[in-house]
């Protein structure tokens, strides 16, 4: 029998990663709703409270390694032999290895992106080298891994071998909340799109949208609503594009909108914009939080590359090529136009997908994995086939 299972998250500033915070709140709610005995823990420097989450404040004045040391030592005091900790991956460092080598609990590490690709893109060479070294050191301390995509799983296996069990559990949506909205009727004259991000990242592909709007000269008026980013959050070149687009852009500068305010924004939009620049990370597959949020509000969306849970053929999404070219607004307009008289079918399709990817079921998968790890059981083999990677490459 498992003594304790905890799902541990570290967010320095909850206001800077509102999408991740919303996911965490939804996970905690799903655990309570489904009566799954996993405690959700959040380490943060922010003043934050939620009834479903144990919030542990990190003392002020600590540097990066000091904060990491505080987190690990707190966990070492609270959890021991027989306990299972699922840890949303901290930045790997030799310090993290040195601290965790004393643990007696079993550790499941959760991965959300190809970190080293991100470090390369942001030119954080020292962090890249430190994380690469620490990744090799950390492997013996980990009992199992969770990844949100098959691509991340395959990369972990190529980097560290296939000895550790890895389970793919993508992001989900709260089924018990039900659908929260519906796409408004498109009149063929005015199309409104929404782009949501709590931080600027080049791989979001905002520039593809702006260039697409600049290159469009048709009769439909295009409006872009940006939520979560202020002008000063953007690189100079992107700011210039925004100024060129001019009155076509409605810039929401709030760092974080309430759920009610965000619902009002969605209610006035015809289309959500997902991740459009995966190629900048040398990735092919994503599991975007924002497109799952759009789905919950009955809002169709556009995305580039592959998503672990969408085929691209669903009526609520438009899959475009993942390459450095402007987003084709004519294609976007045609997509929204053909949905306008099928809004009830669109809503039904969104509802069916929510059932398929419900967060309640995904949190049950976390607990089932914890049980197998506690009893030394293996994760079931992954039947996903990646046409770009052979089994020989993984050996």
* Euclidean distance between CA atoms 102 and 79, whole angstroms: 12
Question: Does residue 251 fall inside a structural domain?
Answer: yes
Give the pLDDT score at 362.
95
- Given a cut of 80, whether residue 86 has pLDDT beyond it is yes
Question: Does residue 248 fall inside a structural domain?
Answer: yes
| 185-214 per-residue burial string, b: 16 or more CB within 10 A, e: under 16 | ebeeeebbbbbbbbeebebbbbbbbbbbbe
Q: Are residues 263 and 327 in the same domain?
A: yes
Residue whose C-alpha is closest to residue 278's, from 131, 151, 193? 151
* Euclidean distance between CA atoms 73 and 300, whole angstroms: 45
Task: For residue 9, give both structure tokens.
Answer: 């998250």
Question: What pTM did the predictor assign?
Answer: 0.85
Q: Are residues 293 and 369 in the same domain?
A: no
Question: Does residue 386 fall inside a structural domain?
Answer: no
Cβ distance 36 to 364 under 8 Å?
A: yes
Q: Which strands, in side-by-side order, build the sheet including 317-320? A: 249-251, 221-227, 190-196, 271-273, 301-304, 317-320
Question: Does residue 395 fall inside a structural domain?
Answer: no
Q: Are residues 238 and 118 in the same domain?
A: no
Q: Are residues 349 and 201 in the same domain?
A: yes
Helix (H, G, I), strand (E, B) or coil at 356: helix
**Tens-place pLDDT, residues 346-382:** 999 999 999 999 999 999 999 999 999 998 865 444 4
**Tens-place pLDDT, residues 149-177:** 999 999 888 888 888 999 999 999 988 88
Q: Are residues 238 and 278 in the same domain?
A: yes
Q: Are residues 268 and 336 in the same domain?
A: yes
Question: Does residue 277 fall inside a structural domain?
Answer: yes
Question: Does residue 385 fall inside a structural domain?
Answer: no
Q: Are residues 215 and 317 in the same domain?
A: yes
* Euclidean distance between CA atoms 141 and 108, whole angstroms: 9
Q: Are residues 108 and 231 in the same domain?
A: no
**What's 166's DSSP letter?**
E
Q: φ and ψ at 205, to 5 degrees? A: 80, 25
Looking at the chain, the whole-number percentage of residues with pLDDT higher than 90 is 58
> Cα torsion for 359, 362, 367, 373, to the nearest 10°?
-150
Question: Does residue 391 fall inside a structural domain?
Answer: no
* Euclidean distance between CA atoms 162 and 177, whole angstroms: 38
Q: Are residues 203 and 309 in the same domain?
A: yes
Q: Are residues 206 and 134 in the same domain?
A: no
Q: Are residues 340 and 371 in the same domain?
A: no
**Tens-place pLDDT, residues 34-65:** 999 999 999 999 888 889 999 999 999 998 88
Residue whose C-alpha is closest to residue 31's, from 57, 5, 55? 5
**Tens-place pLDDT, residues 93-106:** 777 888 899 999 99
Give the pLDDT score at 251.
67
Number of domains in the chain: 2
Question: Does residue 129 fall inside a structural domain?
Answer: yes
R_g (Cα) of the chain, nearest Å: 21
Q: Are residues 364 and 351 in the same domain?
A: no
**pLDDT confidence of 260, banded at 50, 70, 90?**
confident
Residue 84 CA, chain-centre distance (Å), reads 23
CATH no. for residue 232? 3.40.50.2000
Q: φ and ψ at 40, to 5 degrees? A: -100, 125
Cα four-point dihedral sign 24, 16, 198, 253: positive
* Euclidean distance between CA atoms 286 and 293, whole angstroms: 15
Least confident residue range of 158-162, 180-184, 251-255? 251-255
Mean pLDDT of 64-69: 88
Q: Which domain holds residue 195?
A: 190-355
């Amino acid at each position: 029998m498992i003594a304790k299972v905890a799902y541990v998250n570290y967010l320095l500033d909850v206001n800077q990663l509102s999408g991740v915070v919303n996911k965490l709140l939804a996970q905690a709610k799903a655990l309570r709703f489904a009566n799954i005995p996993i405690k959700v823990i959040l380490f943060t420097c922010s003043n934050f409270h939620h009834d479903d989450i144990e919030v542990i404040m990190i003392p002020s004045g600590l540097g990066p390694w000091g904060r990491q040391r505080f987190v690990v030592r707190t966990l070492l005091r609270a959890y021991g032999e027989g306990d299972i900790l699922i840890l949303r991956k901290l930045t790997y460092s030799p310090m993290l290895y040195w601290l965790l080598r004393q643990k007696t609990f079993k550790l499941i590490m959760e991965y959300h992106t190809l970190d080293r690709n991100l470090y390369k893109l942001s030119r954080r060479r020292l962090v890249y080298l430190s994380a690469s070294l620490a990744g090799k050191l950390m492997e013996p301390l980990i009992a199992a891994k969770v990844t949100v995509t098959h691509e991340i799983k395959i990369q972990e296996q190529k980097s560290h071998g296939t000895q550790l069990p890895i389970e793919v559990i993508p992001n989900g949506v709260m089924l018990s909340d039900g659908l929260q909205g519906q796409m408004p009727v498109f009149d063929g004259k005015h199309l409104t799109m929404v782009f949501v991000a709590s931080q600027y990242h080049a791989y979001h592909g905002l520039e593809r949208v702006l260039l697409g709007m600049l290159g469009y000269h048709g009769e439909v008026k295009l409006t872009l609503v940006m939520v979560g980013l202020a002008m000063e959050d953007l690189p100079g070149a992107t700011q210039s594009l925004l100024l060129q687009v001019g009155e076509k852009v409605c810039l929401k500068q709030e760092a974080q909108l309430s759920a009610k305010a965000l619902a009002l924004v969605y209610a006035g939009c015809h289309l959500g914009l997902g991740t459009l620049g995966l190629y900048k990370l040398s990735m092919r597959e994503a599991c975007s939080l924002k497109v799952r949020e759009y789905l919950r509000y009955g809002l169709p969306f556009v995305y580039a590359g592959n998503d672990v849970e969408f085929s691209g053929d669903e009526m609520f999404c438009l899959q475009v090529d993942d390459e450095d070219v402007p987003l084709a607004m004519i294609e976007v307009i045609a997509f929204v136009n053909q949905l306008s008289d099928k809004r009830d079918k669109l809503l039904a399709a969104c509802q069916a997908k929510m059932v398929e990817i419900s967060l309640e079921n995904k949190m049950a998968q976390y607990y089932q994995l914890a049980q197998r790890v506690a009893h030394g059981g293996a994760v079931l083999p992954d039947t996903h086939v990646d046409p770009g990677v052979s089994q020989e490459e993984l050996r």
